[in-house]
Structures are given as structure tokens and as C-alpha cells.
A = this chain, B = another copy of it.
Amino acid sequence: MARANVREQLVEAAMTRFRDHGFNGSGVKDITDLAGVPKGSFYNHFASKEALGAEIVRLYGAGQAPLAADLAPLDRLRADFRRKGELVVSGGFARGCLYGDFGNELAAQSEPIRIEVRAGLAAWSDLVASLLREARTDGSLVSPIDDETLGRLVVTAWQGSVLRAKVARSRAPLDDFFTLLDALLT
């Protein structure tokens, strides 16, 4: 097994382990055991479990699928959230949004992870705002709330909706989200 792959194996094992047991319920040895690599090899790739956690948040943001370019801006936004919602449902409501999971568990505890989650949520809010700006230009959005605020509100509402879907084990809160979206994006 090439060495570059060990890093990837560690990342993948940590994502699974953190999802099922939380960051705080996962030790380095749990992660290396799951990855099938010796514990000592961990520190060839990451300075700490916290550094691995921050890296996972960065990768999560970088791995977001691009939006379908052939739709009108608000339809593109809705399609993206529908796709994200299907992932929550198909994952049996076990997996939420990593930003929400790590943000809630670790914001008070790990400064490097908090900073990465904040940056990820801000970049995502900006992406939504840029779609809203397009919609404003083509006349499909006339809301009196400015695009940047709306972008943050949409992403924030999504975080809450995914939490409730996980807690209720039901897609109903995701359906509620689209009602909210329609009410906001007038």
C-alpha cells in the first residue's frame, strides 16, 4: 500500500468513526484500527486527532458538488438542497451536515475545527448569495432582505432542518425547509 493511501485511509476511517461515535468518542487508535494501519503511522500524516478533524472539514467544503448550470438560479438552489436532502434520507438520517455535527460538538472545544467550520459555512452562504444575486438580476427575486443576509439565513435554516430530520428520522423537516425557502425567496 503506497504511503499516500494511508493518509486517505485515515481520513475515510475517521469520517466513519466520527459519524458513528462523535469526535470525542473516537481515539486515534480507534481510527487506525478501523483504517487497518498501525497506530504509529497516524503521526506520519497528522499532528493530532484535532488536525485530522480540521482537515476533514476542509475536504468536506472542497468536495461539494458543483451546481447544475443549466437551470435558473433559484431552481439551481432548490435542486442542490433536494440533492443534499436525498443524501440525508438515503443515509438513514445517520449522517447530517458535517458542519452542523462538528460545529455543535466541537465549537467550544477546538479552535482549529471551529475556524474551519465557520469558514465552510461562510463560503457556502456566499455561494447561495451569489445565486440570489443572479436571481435578483433576472427579476425572479425581489425580497427586501439583502442577498448576503438571505444567503446566511438559507444555510442556517438548512442546518436546523437537517438536525430535526435526524432527530425525527423523517424527511418532513426537509419538506418544511422548502416551505421556508419559498417564503424567504420571494
Contacts and interface: CB of A to CB of B under 8 A. Distances in A.
A101 B106 CA distance: 10
A82 interface: no
A19 interface: yes
Give the secondary structure class of A's interface.
helix
Number of copies: 2
Interface string A97-120: 001110111111100001001100
A149 B21 CA distance: 32
A22 B117 CA distance: 17
B105 A101 contact: yes
A105 B159 contact: no
Given A22-B24, A156-B160, 16 more contacts: A20-B109, A22-B23, A24-B26, A25-B25, A100-B163, A103-B163, A103-B166, A104-B163, A104-B166, A108-B166, A117-B167, A145-B179, A149-B176, A155-B160, A157-B160, A180-B184
B167 A114 contact: yes
Interface string A5-48: 00000000000000111111110000000000000000000000
Given A24-B24, A105-B105, A156-B176, A118 B168 contact: yes
A85 interface: no
Contacts of A177: 156
A74 to B, nearest CB: 16
B173 A152 contact: yes
Contact of A176 (B22, B100, B152): B152
Contacts of A121: 164, 167-168
Q: Which 4 A-B pairs have the closest CB atoms?
A: A24-B25, A160-B160, A159-B160, A156-B160
